[in-house]
Structure 1
């Protein structure tokens, strides 16, 4: 296919700015659409485009931000909200919540937009719409973003957002409580999320794991506890979760992401064999430090849920009756 130099420039510029591209006139839109038909481009949102080979390298959260950046140029008055705002703020969350949709804020009583509004465009209703600027985009503030997401999704889907917002110091519990007072429904849900939110959670996987533990009625673990080797006091191991139980036992749970064994950043140049050997030494230290039992859970076991719950019951973590 003969390439239009203007379209090539549009695509390059958009990628350099971390957004989707769009045409400014009918000729450019037609040229972009021709490339869409032959598979060179994808269109994640009506009249927005990206190179197919480039788009598949982005996770759904980054894809959402790239669409939002393009729409922000086209609609200067839009305020992005809900999961779209969460992605823009960089909050930890399950990518599946996006569903290729863009959420914007709209006041109660305002119309639903034009008849030609895209089905992928969803409105988050609120009494007053105020905006912060992030990456040159107008978005709801972090506290409002948490409140809206907390009312839209499950406890397990949103606790990672709360943890990461507090960890990054984007907001405070007090500010979230104030925003909670402005909504009509769902206040109890937000207050419950605040009660369990913990900035010590280091990533979304750990937050999701803790949320599953809480929802199943198990005793809430302590986070990022340190254990010192009694044979060498200079050696300290920090664990993801720990229970110091009334029967005298100390139980540790480690959440293992797949990156622990394949990511260059995580393994620090070590071979998989060395990583496994280091983990065994780590476990020996924990047992010497008085740990009674160690549970290892990976993302797949968390997703299936039953392996996680079975492991916690087997190691006798206290659980609410009827859970």
Structure 2
């Protein structure tokens, strides 16, 4: 599709380049931010909103936080969140852009799609010190999965900025980050287990049979005790074909001595105590010396 079809763009640039007339700009596009337009009917993703903010800033700023995370390919972001931009001076952003006054070192910047953004590690550093833990960890898990960043990279940035606001909050979050999580509910399930005093489960456990053949990859669990916790999305409960596969898979795991606790959205958000009771019972049955 053409350059003006689905991405935001600077209106003055498009008119000057002869890509659209002033009349068509008003008639066929909507203004997202001052001098930034999007074709009518198109919806901004988190990454699109970040690009729109960068166009508004006209090169005078660095995309940070959630906007940087979006351009780094982080999944599961809220498309309606304001864009985040670090910019010198005291100019406030328009509605939909959050301007911060942070000074970003050149070594903590990089280019993505031609836009200046914070590096993945600096992006994680900013998100972790600004957002509540249960919101930050799923985002950081997804950011690390998308970029290969790990908790050590985030900690290295934290050591360079010991006095910045939120550093204590970040220090508690860093050990909880794991790029192996494949969805926010998986991240929240892991936090639930750790908060209850259980040992941190390994993520994406590969189970093999006695001959070394692949059997399953489990969301999280404890290999020593053959206990796993699986978060099952709606399709696992409503899709007959998926349900049949799950039954067969669980039967094989059971034959190999594994105990699998399945978690649904209802259990996670409304009855988390049942998850913990079932996990502790399974660990005890499998010989783990886990105290309440």
TM-score for the superposition, normalised by structure 1:
0.71
Structure 1 position 88, deviation (Å): 0.8
Contact 1:240 1:255 in 2 (8 A): yes
Partner of 1:84: 67
Q: Give the Cα–Cα distance (whole angstroms) in 2 for the partners of residues 186 and 93 of structure 1.
A: 23
1:136 and 2:117 aligned: no
Rate the CA distance shift 1:12–1:309 in 2: closer, same or farther, 3 A.
farther
Rate the CA distance shift 1:82–1:49 in 2: closer, same or farther, 3 A.
same
Rate the CA distance shift 1:154–1:216 in 2: closer, same or farther, 3 A.
farther
Structure 1 position 250, deviation (Å): 3.8
Of 271, 290, 306, the residue aligned with 2:270 is: 306
Partner of 2:7: 19
Unaligned residue ranges in structure 1 (runs of 5+): 1-10, 36-40, 263-271
Partner of 2:136: 158
Q: Give the Cα–Cα distance (whole angstroms) in 2 for the partners of residues 28 and 308 of structure 1.
A: 57
Q: Give the Cα–Cα distance (whole angstroms) in 1 for the partners of residues 234 and 193 of structure 2.
A: 20
Equivalent position SS for 1:95: coil
Equivalent position SS for 1:13: coil
Q: Give the Cα–Cα distance (whole angstroms) in 1 for the partners of residues 257 and 96 of structure 2.
A: 54
What whole-Å deviation, never above 9, does each CA across 1:22-50 have from its counterpart, x for those lacking one?
A: 42269955643344xxxxx4444344332
Equivalent position SS for 2:26: helix
1:257 and 2:233 aligned: yes
Structure 1 position 159, deviation (Å): 1.6
Contact 1:82 1:124 in 2 (8 A): no
Q: Give the Cα–Cα distance (whole angstroms) in 2 for the partners of residues 133 and 254 of structure 1.
A: 37
1:206 and 2:186 aligned: yes
Q: Give the Cα–Cα distance (whole angstroms) in 1 for the partners of residues 248 and 271 of structure 2.
A: 25
Structure 1 position 85, deviation (Å): 0.6
Contact 1:227 1:289 in 2 (8 A): no
Rate the CA distance shift 1:77–1:66 in 2: closer, same or farther, 3 A.
closer
Partner of 1:236: 215
Equivalent position SS for 2:99: strand
Rate the CA distance shift 1:139–1:30 in 2: closer, same or farther, 3 A.
same
Structure 1 position 240, deviation (Å): 0.6
Q: Give the Cα–Cα distance (whole angstroms) in 2 for the partners of residues 174 and 316 of structure 1.
A: 30
Structure 1 position 118, deviation (Å): 0.9
Contact 1:162 1:194 in 2 (8 A): no
Q: Give the Cα–Cα distance (whole angstroms) in 1 for the partners of residues 124 and 222 of structure 2.
A: 28
Unaligned residue ranges in structure 2 (runs of 5+): 284-289
Rate the CA distance shift 1:214–1:148 in 2: closer, same or farther, 3 A.
same
Equivalent position SS for 2:63: coil
Contact 2:50 2:83 in 1 (8 A): no
Equivalent position SS for 1:148: helix
